[in-house]
């Protein structure tokens, strides 16, 4: 064996509805939780139908298995907020004989509040027991841009690129998150030759501080006022179907669009599409300086 092992990281999702309080507590990291926010979150997960099992985590598992087959290297999954934890994945990688661990997050754009947190967990777990090569960003990766461009090319709708919002204070801290998101959006729009597009955030949390905007629900109102009648949502900051897609876009944004007289659809998420697996494999190979397949 080459000594290279991949730890593939994702946000994580509760396995079943009864896990939601513990999952939310993990996200809050010990900070207080308002009961109404927990009730709201349980209701949102219930609407996804995860009473006894959560199909969303299966997407991550399929992605892991496909990446392992594509790379012919061991790949272990580690979740930032659920099980298996990032630390569990690190232990399994070391037990598999890892001398070099390549850390890859299933989120394309760097922020000190997102990717850096994954790195902290992985680095703490690995310690000095293996070399760590960590992929910080891959949002401008040619294959990723191409994959998204293929999904919006030829549409007559106004394309709205979206990503998870973050507290607005990150801009004053010089965080590159917003610039990287806009770069991906621009690259996809150019590649697909989209004339009419914009960017908005989604999935803001009720933490009491200002978050990056505009939020998609407000943005849809602006688009309707501008005479737009058809919108195609293209998330660029997420790569899989999960709560933020199925609830925030497919339910809340669709409902708001309906109230505004807008037709709203969204692209099929990359999930474990073979083209997506090739993108992820290419990123890992580059980070590990492994040869490309013949």
Q: How many residues bind ligand FEC (CB under 6 A)?
A: 19
Taking CB under 6 A as the criterion, the residue among 7, 107, 181, 231 binding ligand FEC is: 107
Q: Are 179 and 136 in contact (CB under 8 A)?
A: no
DSSP codes of every residue in 119-152: HHHHHHHHTTSSEEEE----TT-HHHHHHHHHHH
Taking the CA atoms of the chain, what radius of gyration do you get in angstroms? 19
Residue 285 in the binding site for ligand FEC (CB under 6 A): no
Residue with Cβ nearer ligand FEC (100 or 271): 271
Residue written as token pair 């905007």:
213
Residue 47 Cβ vs ligand FEC, minimum distance, rounded to whole Å: 12
Residue 155 in the binding site for ligand FEC (CB under 6 A): no
Residues 217-256 that bind ligand FEC (CB under 6 A): 237-238, 242-244
Residues 26-65 that bind ligand FEC (CB under 6 A): 27-28, 41, 56
User: Tokens for 46?
Assistant: 């219930």
Tell me phi and psi for residue 3, to 5 degrees: 90, -5
Residue with Cβ nearer ligand FEC (125 or 166): 166
Residue 113 in the binding site for ligand FEC (CB under 6 A): yes
Residue written as token pair 């992929």:
135
Per the DSSP assignment, residues forming a β-bridge with 74 are: none
Residue 205 in the binding site for ligand FEC (CB under 6 A): yes
Residue with Cβ nearer ligand FEC (28 or 133): 28
Residue 181 in the binding site for ligand FEC (CB under 6 A): no
User: Tokens for 244?
Assistant: 């933020």
Q: Are 251 and 243 in contact (CB under 8 A)?
A: no
Q: Are 235 and 269 in contact (CB under 8 A)?
A: yes
- Chain contacts with ligand FEC (rule: CB under 6 A): 11, 13, 24, 27-28, 41, 56, 107, 113-114, 164, 166, 205, 207, 237-238, 242-244
């Amino acid at each position: 064996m080459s000594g290279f092992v991949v730890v593939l990281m994702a946000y994580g999702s509760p396995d079943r509805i009864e896990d939601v309080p513990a999952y939310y507590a993990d996200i809050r990291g010990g900070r207080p939780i308002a009961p109404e926010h927990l009730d709201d979150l349980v209701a949102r997960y219930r609407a996804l139908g995860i009473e006894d099992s959560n199909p969303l985590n299966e997407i991550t598992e399929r992605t892991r298995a496909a990446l392992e087959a594509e790379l012919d290297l061991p790949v272990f999954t580690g979740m930032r907020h659920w099980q298996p934890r990032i630390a569990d994945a690190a232990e399994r990688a070391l037990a598999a004989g890892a001398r070099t661990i390549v850390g890859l997050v299933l989120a394309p754009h760097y922020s000190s509040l997102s990717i850096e947190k994954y790195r902290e967990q992985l680095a703490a777990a690995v310690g000095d027991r293996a070399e760590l090569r960590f992929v910080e960003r891959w949002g401008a990766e040619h294959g990723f841009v191409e994959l998204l461009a293929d999904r919006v090319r030829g549409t007559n709708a106004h394309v709205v690129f979206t990503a998870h919002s973050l507290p607005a204070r990150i801009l004053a801290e010089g965080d590159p998150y917003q610039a990287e998101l806009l770069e991906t959006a621009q690259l996809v729009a150019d590649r697909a030759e989209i004339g009419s597009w914009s960017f908005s955030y989604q999935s803001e949390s009720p933490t009491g501080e200002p978050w990056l905007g505009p939020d998609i629900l407000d943005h849809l109102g602006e688009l309707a006022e501008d005479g737009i009648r058809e919108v195609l949502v293209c998330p660029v900051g997420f790569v899989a179907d999960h709560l933020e897609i199925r609830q925030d876009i497919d339910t809340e944004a669709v409902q708001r669009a309906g109230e505004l007289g807008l037709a709203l659809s969204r692209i099929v998420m990359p999930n474990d599409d073979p083209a997506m697996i090739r993108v992820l494999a290419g990123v890992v190979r580059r980070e590990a300086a492994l040869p490309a397949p013949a």
